[in-house]
Amino acid sequence: MTEFDNSGREAHFSKKVRAGKRTYYFDVKATRGNDYYLTITESKRKPGDSEDRPFFEKHKLFLYKEDFDKFSEGFHEALDFIKHKREEEGDTNSIQVPQEFESQSTGYTDLSFDDLGK
């Protein structure tokens, strides 16, 4: 899928995820030097000046190839912490990750960014 955002950078891959009142956008883009990076955008609808013109509050995170491994490591550690806390508390609504994305080491999504850095 190819889309353009307001910066004019073409997205080589885009994924939109609706999650309750928020929408997350995962966009893979390339720098002028042809290095891939990831933008993660959180968008939340807020009331605007009038009811027919809502305002969308957006927060954007730029993740560059030199940070992919550290980001992935920290993300997995945070999910692992949440999973174990929920299990300790007897929460039956544990985090569910589709089996095809399971990592053998942590049991969570395998976010390998190796292909993006090439």
Are 97 and 108 in contact, with CB atoms under 8 Å apart? yes
pLDDT at position 16 is: 97
The helix (H) or strand (E) run that includes residue 83 is: helix 68-88
Is the pLDDT at 98 greater than 90? The verdict is no
Alpha-carbon gap, residue 67 to 26, rounded angstroms? 16
- CATH code given to domain 3-117: 3.10.450.700
Are 14 and 3 in contact, with CB atoms under 8 Å apart? yes
Instruction: Report the 10 Å Cβ neighbour count for 92.
Output: 6
Q: What is the mean pLDDT of the chain?
A: 79
Is the pLDDT at 72 greater than 90? The verdict is yes
End-to-end CA distance of the chain: 19
Is the pLDDT at 3 greater than 50? The verdict is no
The domain spans of the chain are 3-117
Residue 4 is classified by DSSP as E
Span 52-71, pLDDT tens digits: 778 899 999 999 999 999 99
